[in-house]
Each structure stands twice: as structure tokens, then as C-alpha cells.
Amino acid sequence: MSEDKPGFWKRMFGKTESGATGPGGEPQPTLARYKRERQLGRGSMGEVWLATDTQTGHQVALKLLALQREFSPEDLADVRQRFMREAHAAGQLQHPDILQVLDAGESGADAWIAMEYVRGHDLSHYSRAGHLLPVADALRLGQRLARALAYAHRQGVVHRDIKPANVMYDADSGQLKVMDFGIARVADGSRTRTGLVLGTPSFMSPEQLAGLKVDGRSDLFSLGVMLYQLLTGHLPHQSESMARLMQKIALEPPPDVRHFRPALPEALALLLALALEKRPELRYADGDQMAQDIEAVLAAGLPEALLSDSVAAATPAAASNTAIDKTVDPFAQTQRVDLAGGEAGQNRAPPPPTPQK
């Protein structure tokens, strides 16, 4: 094995709680180093806060993961160890379009991760009809994301939960950041006992939903789903039933993207069909290949109708053919998917605090 880059664990030295050590015997950092300022959001796995690093004075995004709420007591120790290994791997990623992991640690039975703080919206802001990005802009973002994933996959890191909510974008500066590398992996250590996989069902690949071993091609499937949604405001597969959704993803080809947006070029429709192939061996082998094909679509030029149309998603005729309201996705958040045949369980965020009178 190659030696770890020194940066991640080195940043942890000198800021430890008494007796706390990492998976390799390295000291762990303390949560007390970070002063919480305000809550930025609440998600399926916990909360995200804007915080200040009291040693450097820099602002960071502090994610608090409620592990003991999500996992059984007998799985907690294994889950925490896996979290630290995944945080360590994510901390080695140095790419302009990947959010930098600064620190990670444990707080009682739970865990936390400190990341660089960036401004902007996550891409779910641009995934609904009426709020879509211009087609050329969406494609350029897809190209950058494909290259960022190719870089991570070469480092042996698979994201496992690529979706619009895990990508930050600042339209003013053009800054793009993939977030939460490895977070969906924390459940894998307990999967053999519980039959659960953590992920976002509407964006998961067939092999991930089946509980099989996944590689970078699974992330590229998810990127294909996300690009499809950013271009149309619709998901390629959707159902109000979890069982039916899994069946569609596993067995049924998605509608041609031009069903929802007829002006899109054929080359783009073929690109997305390749990204959404059911069998991994038929998909793009790596993100660089996908990025090259996106570049070819852009180089060929887009129809005039698309250059002046930045917000239209589906034609009225196409929209009327859909049985489900595509603006509401019951499986758009991270869930624990029971592969043993039970029901999928939403990782519910805690209820909002009661307003002060």
C-alpha cells in the first residue's frame, strides 16, 4: 500500500480530546475547536452549521451526523470506525470541484465532519421546471462533475450518493463543489446484519439498489440521472411505490430525454442513454469518457431554440403524459433501503425547534 498523504491526519494533531485516537492510533480532533454560528440546513443524517475554527479564525461548514439515531447500538462502533476511514479517504481528495474535508471526529456515539465553507445553492435549486439552468450551462457543470468523479475514482473513492442536493454551485463565481464523499458508505459495515443500504433511491444505480458491490460506474449512473433532471425538471424513473421504483430502475429503460424536451439534440439523448444503462459494463468506463462526450455535444452546437430557452422543461403534451407529479419526488432524500424485503425507511431529520414565544 502507498503511504497516506500527511495532510489530513497532520491537521488533526494537537487538537485532541484526552485519550481519543483514530483508526491508525492517530490523535483525533475535538469538536470544541469549532464555534457554531448558525444552522445552514438539516438533512437525513443530521445538521449542518456555519462554524468558526477558533484556532485559525476561518469559517467552516460543520456537519453533525446523528449516528446513534440512525443505527442500532450493536452497529455503532463499526459504523463510527467506517466513518473515520471514509473521512480520511475523502480528506485526501484535492480537486477544485470537490469540497475539501478539513477535520473529522467522534462526539459521544455520534460523529462530525468539518469542511470548507462555500457560498451558493445546491443544484436541487435548479432541478425543477421554471428554475432550470441554460442547457449549455447544465452540460458544462455535468462535464466538470464527470471529471471530478474520474479524479476521485482514480484515488479509489466512490461517492455513492451523487444527486443535486450534494453539489454546491455559485452561479456568480462559477464555483462548483461535490459534497459528502463517502458519507453513504457508513452504513455498509452493518449491511450484512441489517440488509440496509444508505443512498437516495431515485438516483441509485441498479447494482446499488440490489446491494451489490459498486464502483465508479455507479456514480456515473447517478450523474446521468442528475443531468437528466437538470435538463428537464423530470427524473428518468419515478414511482410513488418504493418497490415499483426499484423495478423500474432495474428493468425498464427511461423515457428518451427528448420526450420532455424535444429540442435537445440526439447526441445528448444517446449520451444520457449510455450513462443510464442498466448493466455497469455497458456504461461509461470512467468520468473522463463521459466528459469528452459532453464536450463533443457542446462543440457540435445546440439548436437555436435551446439557446434562447433557459427555463422550459417539458412541453405541455409531454407533461400531460406523466402520471406522477414530477415536482414531488418521494424518494429524493437519503434513505435506508431494506434489501431483505422490508419497507424503505426514511432517515427522518429531527423535528424543528419550537419557536420561542
- pLDDT value, residue 329: 63
> 121-338: same fold as 7-116?
no
Give the whole-angstrom CA distance, residue 25 versus residue 20.
9
Q: Is 75 a catalytic residue?
A: no
- pLDDT value, residue 299: 96
Summarize pLDDT for 78-119 with one digit per residue, the tens.
877 878 888 888 889 999 999 999 998 888 778 899 999 999
Give the whole-angstrom CA distance, residue 67 versus residue 70.
5
For all residues of the chain together, what is the average pLDDT? Answer: 80
Strand spans (E) along the chain: 16-21, 27-29, 34-43, 46-53, 59-65, 101-107, 110-116, 121-122, 167-170, 175-178, 196-199, 335-338, 345-346
Residue 259: pLDDT above 80?
A: yes
From the candidates 75, 103, 161, 293, which is the catalytic residue?
161
The answer to whether 102 touches 61, Cβ cutoff 8 Å, is no
Summarize pLDDT for 141-186 with one digit per residue, the tens.
999 999 999 999 999 999 999 999 999 999 999 999 999 887 766 5
- pLDDT value, residue 180: 86
The CATH code for residues 121-338 is 1.10.510.10
Of 61, 107, 62, nearest to 84 by C-alpha is 107
pLDDT tier for residue 272 given thresholds of 50, 70 and 90: very high
- Domain residue extents for the chain: 7-116, 121-338
Beta bridge partners of 51: 36, 60
Residue 290: pLDDT above 70?
A: yes
Is the four-CA dihedral 202, 207, 210, 213 of positive or negative sign? negative
Residue 214: pLDDT above 60?
A: yes
Q: What's the pTM?
A: 0.79
pLDDT tier for residue 77 given thresholds of 50, 70 and 90: confident
Class of the domain covering 7-116: alpha beta
Of 30, 35, 27, nearest to 53 by C-alpha is 35
Summarize pLDDT for 39-72 with one digit per residue, the tens.
988 866 778 999 999 999 999 999 888 887 777 7
